[in-house]
Structure 1
Amino acid sequence: MASINFSKQDFVKDGDRYKLGFKKNDIGEGVDLIVERKEENGTYTLIQAEINRANDNVLVVWSEPFDGRVVTDEYKQL
């Protein structure tokens, strides 16, 4: 499995929620996507984030921006 890290600054505010976008070409369809939030002590906690697809993008939606990573086995070789 591979992962892509992201930060709070990567989120875009959309009404009362925040969205983070990835290209399907980079991340796959998002079927087996795992979203983990980075805790202050450096460990990661699995969260059940809303995941949407729009055009060629996979969007992670949450109530607030956070540092974390997405994990999937659909990643292309980096």
Structure 2
Amino acid sequence: MAHKNFRKEDFVKDSSGQYQVEFRKGNIGEGSDLIVERKNEKEEYEILQAEIKRHDDRIFVCWSEPFDGRVLFDEFH
């Protein structure tokens, strides 16, 4: 699987108080098989069940607080 890393600083607080990080659909595909992982204190990744929203050609990963992590996805051509 391919992945895209993101950092705490990439999150933006939305009007509902959640934090979200944005990806372009063209960079990670349609998003049907996305896996969100957060980096823990031991620098290891753990899987989260984060909310994923889609709007136009953008995909948003939402969580209650910013974190360093990555999105795993199937590579596409």
How far apart are residue 74 of structure 1 and its match? 3.5
Q: Deviations over 1:13-71 (max 9, x none)?
A: 11310011100011111100000000011100000000010011011010000000000
Moved segments of 4+, more than 2 Å: none
Give the AA of the match of 2:75.
E
Residue 7 of structure 1 corresponds to 7
Structure 1 residues 66 and 73: CA distance shift in structure 2, 3 A? same
* Bigger mean CA deviation after superposition, 62-71 or 12-21: 12-21
Q: Which residue of 2 aligns with 1:54?
A: 55
- Partner SS for 2:27: helix
Gaps of 5+ in 1: none
Residue segments in structure 2 that go unaligned for 5+ positions in a row: none
Q: Which residue of 1 aligns with 2:67?
A: 66
Q: For residues 56 and 28 of structure 1, what CA distance do their matches in structure 2 show?
A: 10
RMSD: 1.1
- Alignment identity in percent? 58
Q: Which amino acid aligns with 2:4?
A: I
TM-score (norm 2): 0.93
Q: Is the 8 A contact 1:2 1:75 kept in 2?
A: no
Counterpart secondary structure, 1:21: strand
